[in-house]
Amino acid sequence: MNISVILVNAITDMNYGFANAAALIMILLGIVILLLINKLFRMNEPVW
């Protein structure tokens, strides 16, 4: 089970509000992961 599976199931049930709630969680998770890894790998600092 994955959030995208929940999203697709909600779309096939034509429950777009619920599907978009799941999509929003996915977007937020993506942003959090992006910021976290950026910080962890110090990607904004020059390597050389």
Partner 1 sequence: MSGKKLGRKKLIWIYVFLVPITAVFIMFYLVPILTVFVTSLTKWDGFNAPDFIGIDNFRRLFGLQSFRISLRNLAGWGLLAAVVHVGFGVLVAFIIFKAPKGARLVKIVYMIPSVISVAAWTLIYKFIFDDSFGIVNSFIRLFIPDFSVNWFYESPYAFWSVTFVWLFYAVTVTLVVLSDLLAIPKELHEAAYMDGAKEWQVALKINLPLCRNSIGTSVIVSVTARIAMYEAIALTTRGGAPETIR
b vs e for 30-47, b when ≥16 Cβ sit within 10 Å of the residue's Cβ? eeeeeeeeeeeeeeeeee
Shortest Å, Cβ 36 to partner 1? 9
Number of residues that bind partner 1 (CB under 8 A): 33
> Which amino acid is located at 44 in the chain?
N
Site for partner 1 in 17-36 (CB under 8 A): 17-18, 20-27, 29-30, 33-34
The C-alpha atoms of residue 27 and residue 21 are separated, in whole angstroms, by 10
- Give the footprint of partner 1 on this chain (CB under 8 A): 1-6, 8-9, 14-18, 20-27, 29-30, 33-34, 37-38, 40-43, 47-48
